[in-house]
Homo-oligomer: A and B are copies of this chain.
């Protein structure tokens, strides 16, 4: 049993989203499967065709269209791409509304192309709300991004099309019902606080910086670290959860995604990376981890896009490309601008012995002049409220970790003092 906002006990309820104009039979079968497991269901019709099937869904297409400011007739008259965008907004509005009222506890979508329409709404729901998409599109060369974004979405490959109730699809529908009912039940008892009461700190990491980050974690046992993979999606997820207040500090050890945005390659986190903690006034330590490189695809792709560079094969699919002194000067300016804008205590620790695994004395990317250009820009642009530590060690060396650990403790202490002075409450339990 779950508590609604009014305090009444309610059954775990699944919001089932699909296109009832073409898949009413299939969605009815899924609804029945959920109900056989004693789950409650609310259905929502995301059809864009502009007709509402009477009684097919609890939230019919015309109500969804109206949430996007359109009548069903207006929706039906739109060109398909525009209609999809409009309905997407309607599905999002109705979905968020249901969750804010506590009337649904998990979401399930079974669809073909409709999965693309529904996924953005699911991605708006908080972490920990079960979100399952069942679709034949989850296969082959299709990519995860449009389905999961930066959220804990689960996607199940339906093998066959969502068409009919037969010996194959029955197994798909029954599994989907079991997955979502099981997850909704399981989450009813989860609080989402730090399980051990320690302050929770976000940390950015990748294969190149794992050694250093692991050493930080082992030394700072007073904190609980949540690690995000610095691959574009990971950094965006971290920024998003920082903005939602999930963390009490940020250790941005692997800021290479800034290069992905400023220079290129596969790991662009968008323009807002390394800004969330500063905006939220959280204590933070910034490290130029892998800021000497961008990550590209196969060797031939890397050479086509960035000719005449030094390349480092990370694995057969990913090639690291060394950045130049000019690029690193520019990154230093960006780094300084973002650090200067921070409202909370901020320190930058720079490992002068190299920013990544190949960037070390004797390594393929070792280029003190280029790394020095980054430092020059920092020193030219940083304002007084940001601490800068230039450390004569490699990013994964214990003597560099020493400085990071001290800085993070100092920034957290400074933040605690500042909050106490302002009469605020220090939230050490998140």
Contacts and interface: CB of A to CB of B under 8 A. Distances in A.
Interface string A136-179: 10111111110010111111111111011111111110110111
A304 to B, nearest CB: 12
B141 A143 contact: yes
A8 to B, nearest CB: 23
Contacts of A179: 130, 132, 154, 179-180, 182-183, 186
A193 interface: yes
Q: How many copies does the complex hold?
A: 2
B160 A227 contact: yes
Contacts of A172: 152
Given A160-B226, A166-B194, A227-B164, A144 B139 contact: yes
A106 to B, nearest CB: 9
Interface in A84-121: none
Interface stretch (A49-57, A233-241, A395-403): A233-241
A297 to B, nearest CB: 9
A166 B127 contact: no
A175 to B, nearest CB: 5
A167 B430 contact: yes
B171 A178 contact: no
Taking each of A143, A179, A224, which has the highest tally of chain B beta carbons within 10 Å of its own beta carbon? Answer: A179
A195 interface: yes
Contacts of A177: 186
A192 B165 CA distance: 11
Given A140-B144, A144-B139, A161-B227, A174 B152 contact: no
A150 B139 contact: yes
Contacts of A237: 159-160
Nearest to A160: B226
Taking each of A151, A190, A227, which has the highest tally of chain B beta carbons within 10 Å of its own beta carbon? Answer: A227
A236 B237 CA distance: 35
A127 B159 contact: yes
A241 B166 CA distance: 13
